[in-house]
Every structure is written in C-alpha cells, then in structure tokens.
Amino acid sequence: MKIIYIVLICVGVLFTTALCWLWTPDKDRAELERQYLNAPSDMIDVAGTRLHVRDSGPKTAPAVIFLHGFGASLQTWEPWANALAKDLRVIRIDLPGSGLSLPDPTGDYTDKRSLQIINALMDKLGLTRASLVGNSIGGRIAWTFAGTYPARVDKLVLVSPDGYASQGFEYGKTPEVPMMVKLMSVALPKPLLTMSLKPAYAKPETITDELATRYHDMMLAPGSRGALLARMAQTVLVDPIPILQKITAPTLLVWGEQDGMIPFANSNDYLKAIAGSQRVSFKGVGHLPHEEAPEASISPVRNFLLAPAPAR
C-alpha cells in the first residue's frame, strides 16, 4: 500500500507539473491590438458582430475580399495584399473569433452565418459586387458564397479550398472534435502549436519564429479558441457539386502540389464541377502558397484578377 501511495503521489506531481507547463491563458486583448491593429477604425460592426477589417488600395478600384483558413488571420495574405493594393481595393477580414475579430455573440459559426456576414460587409462597404479569394475553410466559404449569390461575385480565387468529404468529415454529419483538439482551450503552448503547423508547409524553413508567434498570439485572443472549436464542431459538409455547378464567376484554383492538408488531387474535382475554371499549381509547396511561395503564386493571381472579365 505504501508503494502504491508513493507511486500515486509521483504521478500526481508529474501530472500537475505537465498541466502547469501546458496551461496557456488568453492574452490581453488591448496588448494584441497594440501589436496587430493598424488603426481603431479597422474594427467595425457587421451583422451583429465586431470584425477586424483591413481595407487598402483605391476605394474606386474593383474590390477583392480575402478569407483566411482555420486558425489563421488576415495577416496571412500580407504579401499578396501588398502586391495587389496598387490596382485593386483589397479587403481582408478576420473571420469571427479569429485574429482580432471578436467571437460571434450569436455563437453561430456555420457557413450559413458566414455568408450572412459577407453579404452584410459588402453592403456596409457599398459593394454591389466583389471578387473573392479564400484559402482552406475560407475557400469553402468563398465558393459557397459564389454559388449561392452569383450576382455578387466578379471573380473567384480558391487556394487549396476545403469542402469535399474526407476522413472524419462526411456529408450531412456533424464531425466529432477529438479530445486532444478540445484541450487546446486550456493548453496551447507555442512549441505544440508550431508542431501542429508543420503539415501545412512543404518547406520547414517557412515556419519562422515570427510566423509561429503570430499564429500563437492570434489563437490566444480572448474567446478565440472557443470560437475555433465551435466552428469546427458546427461544420456540416454538404455535397459540393450542386453548389459548385451554380458558380458563374471566372474561377482560378491555386494549389501547392505537396499539400499535406487537402490533397492536390482534389483540384481535379473542382475543375470538373466549376465550368471554365483554371488551375495553377506549384511544386515543393504545401497548403499555403501565399505564405510559402508568395512571389511565385501572386503573379498568376494578379494577372487573373486584373484581366478583363468575359461578358456574361
């Protein structure tokens, strides 16, 4: 009994020590805004929630709205935005509960709610139409919007978009969020987050300390982790083909051929479903071409967005 008692004490000490090391509190919002917010006016109220929106480039130029992926923020688009802002009105947003955007008071993180927010944002900014650029989950939101509201979309750029069924994500079913993922609500030390980022990049050197710190800081914004888990839990995929077939906007697919998150082979499914769509791909690049190969990947995107749109 004495040995068991000692073992239990040792286990308890180890567990407590591990928990203390892993426990990760939220960061102070004011401090995050001092570091990452360009101007107080970039925080705006849209559809009952408060969004971080960065609006650059000529206000009279054609507009393009950027939608980031899971766990990312509008800074992920920085190289592309800088390259486009001379000729286009570049609008980047943090999805609710991501980056500096506050969690949605409704608690609704479904794609339907995301479409409502994009519609409301366009109305608030006085945009009848805009082009959309989306990566991963942001890509799924972008193509869903383009298929649902084709009259509001000029052009569509899908960067390794999410949407087709995969392991753990079946059509019409709510996914089960793994317990290890749920633990991030209380335990998210930077080394573990850095490890979780690795599958998204084909080139390990892309994950600099600055990049990992930014991802980590944004996910530690108050309420962010709960919102991310809610978005994951509320994701119910539908058969994408009927929606994709309704897209009328010229569409460009951008994909890294070494994508470890969403297989490059999925791009063939989008090419078949979206009439007239095109694809550019990059060898030795993973899930985030705009971060991993910004100079190479922006060139075809810029040419596509600036080319005259065909008559409808």
The answer, yes or no, to whether residue 17 has pLDDT greater than 80, is no
Q: How far apart are the first and last CA of the chain?
A: 81
Q: What is the pLDDT of residues 120-157, one digit of tens each?
A: 999 999 999 999 999 999 999 999 999 999 999 999 99
The model's confidence at residue 185, banded by pLDDT at 50, 70 and 90, is confident
Strands across the sheet containing 153-161: 43-46, 49-56, 89-93, 63-67, 130-136, 153-161, 251-256, 278-282
Report which of 65, 211, 51 is spatially closest to residue 129, judged by C-alpha positions.
65
Residue 126: exposure state from Cβ atoms within 10 A (0-12, 13-18, ≥19): exposed
The predicted pLDDT at position 312 comes to 61
Q: What is the pLDDT of residues 49-91, one digit of tens each?
A: 999 999 999 999 999 999 999 999 999 999 999 999 999 999 9
What is the distance of C-alpha 288 from the center of its chain? 10
| Domains detected in the chain | 27-306 (3.40.50.1820)
- Whether the Cβ atoms of residue 181 and residue 175 lie closer than 8 Å to each other: no
The predicted pLDDT at position 22 comes to 76
The answer, yes or no, to whether residue 4 has pLDDT greater than 60, is no
What the block records as the tokens of 135 is: 């990566």
What the block records as the tokens of 88 is: 């286009």
217 Cβ contact list (under 8 Å, min separation 6): 27, 32, 35, 36
Nearest 5 degrees, angle CA 122-CA 127-CA 133? 65
User: Measured between alpha carbons, how far is 204 from 292 in angstroms, rounded to an integer?
Assistant: 10
> What's the mean pLDDT in 20-35?
88
The answer, yes or no, to whether residue 1 has pLDDT greater than 80, is no
The answer, yes or no, to whether residue 165 has pLDDT greater than 70, is yes
* Cut 0.85: pTM above it: yes
Nearest 5 degrees, angle CA 249-CA 252-CA 255? 150
Phi, psi of 290 (to 5 degrees): -70, -20
Tokens 């991802």 found at: 215
Q: Going by DSSP bridges, is the β-strand pair 130-136/63-67 parallel, antiparallel, or unpaired?
A: parallel
User: Measured between alpha carbons, how far is 154 from 55 in angstroms, rounded to an integer?
Assistant: 18
